[in-house]
């Protein structure tokens, strides 16, 4: 089985990191399998773990009374789920559910937060990558909000 640090080398989010940095990150991670339908995390829980999807499809959802779970976005192989572990109060704001059987790498957030405290260069590199990720997803979310396919009416 491939070592974790080699696995994450091919993930866009971790591209360009040094071998040493990848080892540090991999040291906080472990492979996990998630059954279809299982929750990876739920709204309100402490954000102690974040995930990299290696195989499968994960949905970000929010549940509304009477409307059931509303699917906000789906994430698949190569994509990182979760940023709430980076910022206080370290609490998840959405549900994440596996739509299919998934192989993920689960990273211990506390472990990684500790390492970035010691190694600010590693911290900076991770922040820069997550920031780029956030920008992409924010842009896509804004586009999604526009509801461009809707039967638009001119606001009065």
Residue 121 to residue 31: CA distance in whole angstroms: 26
Least spacing, CB of residue 78 vs other proteins, in Å: 9
In the complex, the smallest distance separating the C-beta of residue 96 from other proteins, rounded to whole angstroms, is 13
Q: Which is nearer to other proteins, 32 or 76 (CB)?
A: 76
Question: In whole angstroms, how close is the CB of 143 to other proteins at the nearest point?
Answer: 5
Please tell me the distance from the alpha carbon of residue 34 to that of residue 31, in angstroms, as a whole number. 10
Would you say 1 or 156 has its CB closer to other proteins? 156
Residues that bind other proteins (CB under 8 A): 57, 59, 68-74, 76, 99-100, 140, 143-144, 146-154
Q: Compute the half-sphere exposure of residue 69: CA atoms within 13 Å on the CB side of its CA.
A: 15
Given the complex with other proteins, which of 68 and 89 has the nearer CB atom? Answer: 68
CB of 55 vs other proteins, minimal distance in Å: 13
Contact between 60 and 95 under an 8 Å Cβ cutoff? The reply is yes
124 by DSSP, 3-state: which? helix
Give the burial class of 97: count Cβ atoms within 10 A of its Cβ; 0-12 exposed, 13-18 middle, 19 or more buried: buried
Comparing CB distances to other proteins, the nearer of 83 and 90 is 83
* Omega of the bond leading into 89 within 30 degrees of 0 (cis): yes
């Amino acid at each position: 089985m491939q070592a974790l640090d080699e696995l994450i080398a091919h993930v866009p989010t971790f591209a360009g990191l040094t071998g040493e940095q990848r080892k540090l990150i991999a040291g906080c991670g472990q492979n996990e399998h998630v059954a279809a339908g299982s929750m990876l995390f739920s709204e309100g829980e402490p954000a102690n773990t974040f995930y990299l999807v290696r195989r499968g499809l994960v949905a970000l959802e929010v549940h509304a009374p009477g409307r059931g779970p509303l699917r906000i976005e789906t994430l698949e192989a190569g994509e990182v789920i979760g940023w709430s572990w980076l910022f206080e109060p370290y609490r998840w704001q959405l549900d994440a559910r596996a739509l299919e059987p998934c192989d993920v790498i689960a990273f211990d957030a506390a472990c990684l937060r500790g390492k970035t405290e010691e190694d600010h260069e590693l911290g900076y590199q991770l922040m820069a990558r997550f920031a780029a990720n956030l920008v992409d997803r924010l842009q896509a979310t804004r586009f999604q909000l526009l509801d461009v396919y809707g039967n638009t009416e001119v606001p009065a």
